[in-house]
Amino acid sequence: MAINTDKNSYTIIFAIIMVVVVGSLLAGFASGLKPMIDANKRYEKQQNILYAMGINNNEGANDVEFITTDAVEGEFAKYITKQLVIEGDEATENNEAYLIDIKKEATKAKDAGYTRKLPLFIGTKDGKEIYVAPVRGKGLWDAIWGFIAMDKNMTIQGVYFDHKGETPGLGAEIKQRFFMDDFVGESFLKDGNFGSILVAKGNNDPKNMDKSDQEVDALAGATITGDGLSAMLKKDIKMYVPYFKTLNK
């Protein structure tokens, strides 16, 4: 082998070939696996929505167990009776509402001329209509998001929260059962007016017995995540208020 590997030209050619080979290899992998990854993301969303509605595989008191991925599509079709896209005053039925990327919608909505598309999922459970709205906001380190299931009076029936990179043991506890279950029974409407639900410190109600105070007990050591969550609920659920008002006319 008489290649002089120290020559500059050799180094450059080597680098170029390496980049081309690695680039096409990765591109091949990414496009080959994309359909499966997308399907997984879709299932996750459906699992989250159903979880918020109270349809899950929870057994123990601390479980957060989704419907299995094999069953989720069937269950989703069974329980979610209607998917709406709300644009301004208009609500149209759209069976692909759950594919709306609310992160992208939030960015587009910064342009004043754009009417934001709001997805809303309507399901029936035990004969009761349940409305599930997605929310998305900022935690301490990165994005937090969730799904809020409400009845037509905007009283919470169930929630699901998730996060990208909150601190384990502190902010990451928002996806724990005890925290999410605290929201059940609180309402976004008080005397017919919108008031958001706050993640509050020192509300003297740690067991959350009082369901009319629009407050849930905060997590210790997760002030900023909790504040982010309060802000997320306020900002995103508020947009749905006009629609809920039309329901209660």
Partner 1 sequence: MGLLSKKDRKLILDPLADDNPITIQVLGICSALAITAQLKPSIVMAVSVIFVLGVGNVVISLMRNIIPSKIRIIVQLIVVATLVIIVDQVLKAFAYSLSKELSVFIGLIITNCIIMGRFEAFALGNGPWRSFLDGVGNALGYGVILIIVGFFRELLGSGTLFGFKVLGDSVEKTGLYAIGYENNGFMVLPPMALIVVGIIIWVQRSRNKALIEEH
Q: Find where tokens 């995103």 sit.
A: 236
Please name the residue that has the structure tokens 């210790």: 220
Does the CA dihedral 169-175-176-178 come out positive or negative? positive
| CA–CA gap between residue 113 and residue 44 (Å, rounded) | 32
Site string for partner 1, 63-82 (x = CB under 8 A): ------x-------------
Does 153 bind partner 1 (CB under 8 A)? Our answer is no
What residue has token string 């309507």? Answer: 122
10 binds partner 1 (CB under 8 A): yes
47-57 core/surface letters (b: 16 or more CB in 10 A; e: else)? bbbbbbbbbbe
Tokens of residue 24, six digits: 């096409």
Distance CA 80, CA 150 (A): 14
**Nearest-approach distance from CB 150 to partner 1, in angstroms:** 26
**Interface segment toward partner 1; rule CB under 8 A; list 88-96, 104-112, 163-171, 232-240:** 163-171
Q: Is 24 in the site for partner 1 (CB under 8 A)?
A: no
Binding mask 109-148 for partner 1 (x = CB under 8 A): ----------------------------------------
Cα separation, 161 vs 155, whole angstroms: 17
| Min dist. Cβ of residue 41 to partner 1 (A) | 8
* CA proximity to 133, closest of 170, 80, 177: 80
226: amino acid identity, one letter: G
**Contact region with partner 1 (CB under 8 A), list: 21-29, 48-56, 196-204, 208-216:** 21-29
Binding mask 35-64 for partner 1 (x = CB under 8 A): -xx--xx-xx---------------xxx--
**Chain residues in the site for partner 1 (CB under 8 A):** 1, 3, 5-6, 10-11, 14-15, 18, 22, 25-26, 29-30, 33, 36-37, 40-41, 43-44, 60-62, 69, 164-165, 168-169
